[in-house]
Structure 1
Amino acid sequence: MKSIILVRHGKSSWEFDLSDALRPLKTRGISDAKLVANQFIDNHELPDYIYSSPAVRAFSTCKIFLDVFNLSEDSVSVKEELYDFGGENVVNFIKRLPNNYNLVMIFGHNHAFTSIANIFGDKFIDNLPTSGLIKLNFDISDWKDFKKGTTELIIIPKELKA
């Protein structure tokens, strides 16, 4: 069995005149990512490996999770193909993952992650919000056979707030 954990970057700021890839997280993005990371770590095992989009908002969200998981930045690889909004590049990336990894976490973007969750999971979601996390399980032994699986977990930051 193989599993993918998709984490959408935290809420980002449009306050500065920056390119899309350089937009930083807002304060809310930081706090929501911490909430989701802590909720995840309380009940689930750590991934075998972590990948992130190079966008500042995605990698910053990833670093928050690394801190909560007590992992170093050596535990993550930044991959250009994860700076993808449609999903095709992410799906192709997943199909090329090393087979010695059974549980992989990816930090990236919408609409790609909502599309992947709906195409490859078994629970429809209207939208994976910022800092949202979804875990999908697949009855495969080789990532190249990536196909429809089951949705095990969805963590939405808004639902964690009192």
Structure 2
Amino acid sequence: MKKLLLIRHAKAEKDTAGKDFDRPLKYIGMQDAGFMADRIKEHAIVPELIISSPALRAKTTAEIFADHLDLAAPQKNKSIYEAGEKALLKVINEFPDQHDFVALVGHNPGIAQILYYLTGEAKEVHTCTVAIVEFDIDNWAMVSRDLGKLVYYSSPNE
């Protein structure tokens, strides 16, 4: 069995003088990321590995989760930034099979799209929302449309 933890980055600054890629988290975003990491830790939902978009807001969210969950520094995958469901599926299909539970930190609309694609469940994916999808398979390359089951969903506002 494989488990995927989808995490949308926490709330970020809207307007910065720089590029979208370099938008930092707001203070409330940093708080939300710590809160959600602690929430999943309380439920014993701790992935083995975190893979994140390298955009500053996603990377920072992933680092906060890694810190709160006592995990290694997140790996970065540039394919996650601005990715839709097809690009995210490709990233997931390439996850290392030695890990059965992997977290992916990314952006909307991609996170909402891949959640729907994998589970058939349409959900609002607000900033810092987490969702766990289980797959009754042995390797990540087998993950495909409607193969997953949404088993946990939570956001900071709930």
**Superposition TM-score, scaled by structure 1 size:** 0.91
Q: Out of 135, 139, 143, which is 2:140 matched to? A: 143
Offset at residue 149 of structure 1 (A): 1.2
Flag as ranges the 4+ runs of structure 1 deviating above 3 A: none
Distance across 2 between alignment mates of 1:2 and 1:84:
25
Unmatched runs of 5 consecutive residues or more in structure 2: none
Distance across 2 between alignment mates of 1:38 and 1:22:
26
What's 1:103 paired with? 101
What's 2:23 paired with? 23
Offset at residue 91 of structure 1 (A): 0.6
What's 1:53 paired with? 53
What's 2:33 paired with? 33
CA contact (8 A) 1:37 1:68 kept: yes
What letter corresponds to residue 54 of structure 2 in structure 1? P
* Per-residue deviation, residues 48-68 of structure 1 (Å, max 9, x unmatched): 211010000000001111121
Aligned-residue Cα RMSD (Å) equals 1.3
Distance across 2 between alignment mates of 1:30 and 1:137:
27
Percent identity among equivalent residues? Answer: 29
CA contact (8 A) 1:122 1:151 kept: no
What secondary structure, in the 3-state scheme, does the structure 2 residue paired with 1:157 have?
coil
CA contact (8 A) 2:49 2:71 kept: no
**1:71-150 matched pairs, under 5 angstroms:** 71-73=71-73, 76-125=74-123, 127-147=124-144, 148-150=147-149
Offset at residue 122 of structure 1 (A): 4.7
